[in-house]
Structures are given as C-alpha cells and as structure tokens.
Amino acid sequence: MEFELITRYFTRSTRRPDVIQGIGDDCALLRVPAGMELAVTMDTLVSGVHFPMDTKPYAIGWKTLAVSLSDLAAIGAEPAWATLALTLPEANEVWLDAFSRGLFDLAKQYNVALVGGDTTRGSLAITLQAHGFVPPGQSLRRAGAQAGDLIYVTGTLGDATVGLDLRQGRRYGPMALTDRKYLLNRLDQPQPQVAAGIALRGIASAAVDISDGLGADLGHILEASGGVGALIGLEYLPRSSALKKLTVPWEKIMAGGDDYELCFTVPPAREKLLEQALIAVGCDFSLIGWIQPSPGIVGIDAESQLVKIGATGYRHFP
C-alpha cells in the first residue's frame, strides 16, 4: 500500500537533468553543478501547531514546500530538489491527492524535483528538506549587518497572522469578502521570495526570512552580526490594502509570523543597486529602519516617541 501511494501521488515531479536517480530506489543520486555550493534546509510542520487542523490539504502541501523555499531565498539560493517525510494517521486518498497537487503546483513554479522521502503512520506531521545552488562566496547570511546599514523588507507584513486570527474565529468588524480571502490565502499559500533572494546576492549585507515574526527574525540578524541594534520606523511597516482597512497594532505586525517575506540590510552605497535589482524581478520592498551600534530594537511611533521592542515572535519552546 505504501509504495502504491508513493507511485500514485508523488512521482509526478519535475524532471531535472541533475537528478540521476529520484524516487524508486534506496537513495536519490544527484549531481551538484560544477562551480556551485549546495544549500540545504529542512522544516517540520505539525498539525495544530504550524497550521490549523482544518486547513485544506492543498494548502498544507503548498505551504510544506513554501516554508523551505523561503529559507533558500534567505540565503540567495536557486531551488533544485526536495525530499519529503510524511506521517499520516490514515491513507486518505482524497487528502493525499489534494496535498500532492498543492506541493507540486508550487514545485513547478520553481523547477523543484521531489527526489525521495518516506511515509509512515502516526499523527499528521510533515518534514521537507530542500536543496538549492548558490555560487561560491555569494550566499546571503544572517551575519554581516553593520551600523548605518539600511533595513528593508519585501512585500507586506501582518497578513498571515491576521489570516490566522480569522481562521480561528476572531472578528475584526465588517470586512469585504475579497479582503478576507486575500488574508487567508496569505496564511495558506505564502509566496517565497526566491527571485528577490537571488537578486540580493552581492547587495545585501545580511538577510533572513520572516517566518517567526519580524521582531524575532530581525533579532537573529542583530545577534549574528555581533550584537548591533536596530531603529525601526513603526509607521513604515508595509501593510497590504486589506490590512490597512483594519485596526491592527504595530505590536502584532512585529510579532506575527508566517508571512515568509525577507528582511535584509543594505549599505547606503548600494541603495541604487538594490532598487534596480528588485524592480527588475518585480519585487515590492520597503525601507523600515537602520542598523544602530547599540544592541536592541527600538521603534519610532506615529508621535515620534521611542518605543523599546523586544525580539518578539513565535517560539517553538517558550
């Protein structure tokens, strides 16, 4: 039964010439292109923890790959391969069909081949490992931000955390159906900023993906960069048109995760290069602050008052 399920739902993967042997043997055999470094990342999603239990299986499949592609984007890597470990309470073929369609629909966008994995029985949990390529010396890192660097983010922030609120029944007052659908889609089907990550090679001094919340993930950059700090213009935090219609405090936007945008720093001398690079790939981006020599994150609110901000965000182990 296990091998029948694998054959039926997980062998419709993208074909790549660097896959010597994919699904169907004891190991995958893969060829790393000459002159490239291999970037590897892995994420586990647990039902009721990383996605609500009533999430549609198509969205779960999409998000399973999206979170790992976002990690590759943060290091500036071009996606290539993935392996999948899937733990299921039962062999529900309707669920598997929708899950695999979501996974492969996103994989096709980024030419990712599923090359192996494992299936087992138990409480729903999904682990995906993604692999990508980056030229030597051109990877983006969390370390490297220096005082005076500009702090940017791609896209908009806070959509997914409000989408989660909506999924859990919280009311924000009257809301257009199109806005509700948009916010829920940002939670269920995030778009990893792969093109932006590649474009930032040689431009960004540091980068991280926003998965646990801007406060927490920017904090990773600050810590890895030797304990520098950040000054954030809270009114500069980019909000979607749907979010602008709601009353959402900046604290929630700073702490909310699951947007899977990029936060990155850029020396002022490279500002023009940044604009050209991200406009060329069609990526929206916003300047939100500056790196400071003193540790910690400080915000400036609408009344020009300084507000101390903790490295708030999702924690797996409180």
Query: Domains of the chain: which residue ranges?
Result: 2-134, 150-309
Residue 51: its pLDDT value, please? 79
Give the DSSP letter of residue 234.
Answer: G
What number is the average pLDDT over the span 237-246? Answer: 97
Query: Is the pLDDT assigned to residue 315 strictly greater than 60?
Result: no
What pLDDT is recorded for position 9?
65
Comparing C-alpha atoms, which of 181, 129, 317, 302 is closest to residue 232?
302
Of 3-7, 25-29, 183-187, 302-306, the poorest mean pLDDT is in 3-7
Query: What pLDDT was estimated at residue 32?
Result: 96
Q: What is the mean pLDDT of residues 219-247?
A: 97
Q: Is residue 270 a contact partner of residue 276, using CB atoms and an 8 Å limit?
A: no
pLDDT recorded at residue 317: 39
Tens of pLDDT along 83-116? 999 999 888 889 999 999 999 999 999 999 999 9
Find the range with the poorest average confidence among 46-60, 171-185, 194-208. Answer: 46-60
Most confident of 9-18, 42-51, 139-148, 305-314: 139-148
How confident is the model at residue 303, as a pLDDT?
A: 86
Specify the DSSP class assigned to residue 35. T
Question: Chain centroid to CA 259: how far?
Answer: 7
pLDDT-based confidence at residue 311 (cuts at 50, 70, 90): low
CATH of span 2-134: 3.30.1330.10
Burial of 207 (0-12, 13-18, 19+ CB in 10 A): buried
pLDDT at 313: 53
- What's the Cα-to-Cα distance from 235 to each of 253, 283, 287, 293, rounded to whole Å? 11, 21, 11, 22
Residue 263 pLDDT > 50, yes or no?
yes
- Tell which residue, 79, 236, 72, 219, has the closest CA to residue 153: 236
237 and 253 Cβ atoms separated by less than 8 Å: yes
Highest-pLDDT range among 76-85, 118-127, 298-307: 76-85
CATH of domain 150-309: 3.90.650.10
pLDDT of residue 3: 60
Residue type, 173: G
**In this model, does residue 294 exceed pLDDT 80?**
yes
Quick one: how many helices (H) and strands (E) in the chain?
A: 10, 13
